Structure 1
Amino acid sequence: MKILLVSDEESKYIWDFFREDKFSDIDLILSCGDLKQDYLSFLVTMIKAPLFYVHGNHDHGYLNRPPEGCQCIDDKLIQYKGIRILGLGGSMKYNNSPFVYTEREMTKRIKKLRLKLFLNKGCDIIVTHAAPKDISDEKDLCHEGFKCFLDFMDKYSPKYFFHGHVHLSYGMKPRIVNYKDTTVINAYDHYIVEY
């Protein structure tokens, strides 16, 4: 299965110069947040694959006008073609926007999903906006990652952890980092994963 990851910046390669043949084998699109609603609707229309998303810290416009044809998986554990996917959007709390959380609040969100995780024997993919702490985050409060994401990976060992929020254009952060049994991938702009 081929998964298209998108986050934070609308890809000119996709949006301005779209070629159907370049994306005809995409089976699923996962958005890690902070993208225009029209861009997500464009993706799901042109690529003909389902699109699941979590909220980024700048996605307050989704409250009044969510992206058409897409499904929000924030605080949900879903199954798609046998793959268990968990969604936890938002970033570290640095203001009073709707999709920012303290470490304690994010931990509480994860705890609310424990029964679903138990019944489904964990998850294969976790989709977030923020990065895990000290793996691919930044040191400023806005871009600091969550420690509870590390605890989550320690406990459930998902195959993949997809996130956005930390733009690769900020510096020399690697796109892919391995943490124990989990491959952590920064979805900035776009990236294709063969699952």
Structure 2
Amino acid sequence: MKILIVGDKESRYIWDHFDRERFKDINLILSSGDLKPEYLSFLVTMIKAPLFYVHGNHDGRYIYKEPQGCTSIDNQLVVYNNIRILGLGGSQNYNNGNFQYTEKEMTLRIKKLKKALKKHHGFDILLTHAPAYGLGDGDDLCHRGFQAFVDLLDQYSPKYFIHGHQHLNYGRQTRFRTYKNTSIINSYEYYILEY
């Protein structure tokens, strides 16, 4: 199964120079946030695959204009083709904006999902906007990751953790990391995952 992962920056290659042949085998699209709703709608129009997304800290516009043809999985565990995907958008609360959470608030969001996690015996992919604490996050509050995500990785050991927020052009960022048995992928711009 091929999954197109997108986040944080609209790809000119995809949006301005769309090549149907390059994306013909995509089965699913996952967005980790901070993309224009029109871009996500474009993706599901041009690529005949479902698109699941979580909110980024700059997605306040989604409150008024959600991407058409796409499905928010924020605060949800969804199953697609037997792949269990847990969605948790947002970043650390640095100015009380939309989709910003304290560590305690993120922990409470996860606690509300415990019944679904138990029912589905965990999850295979964790899709978030912010990274986990100490795993590709930044030093400032805005870009600091959540310890609650580290706790999820420790408890459920998913196959993949996909996040955005930390742009690859910020400096010491890398697309791939490994934490125990979990492959971590930074979704910046786009990446095609062979699941």
Fold shared by both chains (TM-score > 0.5) = yes
Say whether residues 1:93 and 2:93 are aligned partners. yes
1:175 aligned to 2:175?
yes
Aligned to 1:190: 190
Task: Report the CA distance between 1:172 and its aligned residue.
Answer: 2.2
How far apart are the structure 2 equivalents of 1:166 and 1:145? 10
Dislocated runs of 4+, deviation >2 Å: none
Over residues 34-87 of structure 1, what are the superposed CA-to-partner deviations in whole Å (9 max), with x where a residue is unaligned?
Answer: 000000000000011100000000001101110000000000000001000010
Instruction: Indicate the residue corresponding to 1:136 in structure 2.
Output: 136
Using the size of structure 1 for normalisation, the TM-score is: 0.99
Distance 1:120 1:144 in 2: 29
What is aligned with 2:16?
Answer: 16
2:143 and 2:41 mapped to 1: Cα distance? 27
Note the C-alpha offset of 1:96.
1.5
Mapped to 2, the partners of 1:15 and 1:65 lie a distance apart of 19
Equivalent in the alignment of 1:49: 49
Q: How many Å apart are 1:32 and its aligned residue?
A: 0.1
SS of corresponding position for 2:162: strand
Percent identity of paired positions between Structure 1 and Structure 2: 61
Q: CA deviation at 1:98?
A: 1.7
Aligned to 2:71: 71
Equivalent residue of 1:178, what SS? strand
Which blocks of at least 5 consecutive residues in structure 1 are unaligned?
none
C-alpha deviations, 1:151-188, integer Å up to 9, x for none?
Answer: 00000111000000000010021110000011110000
**Partner SS state of residue 27, structure 1:** strand
Whole-Å Cα distance in 1 between the matches of residues 53 and 97 of structure 2?
A: 18
Deviation at 1:147, TM superposition (A): 0.6
Structure 2 residues without counterparts, runs of 5 or longer: none
Amino acid corresponding to residue 60 of structure 1 in structure 2: G
Residue 44 of structure 1 aligns to a residue in which SS?
helix
Is the aligned partner of 1:120 residue 2:92?
A: no
> 1:6: which partner in 2?
6
Distance in 1 between the 2:170 and 2:98 partners? 24
Q: Distance in 2 between matches of 1:76 and 1:36?
A: 22
Offset of 1:6 from its aligned partner? 0.3
Output the TM-score relative to the length of structure 2: 0.99
Counterpart residue type for residue 15 of structure 2: W
Letter in 2 for 1:185: I
1:126 alignment partner, SS class = strand
Corresponding letter in the other structure for 1:76: Q
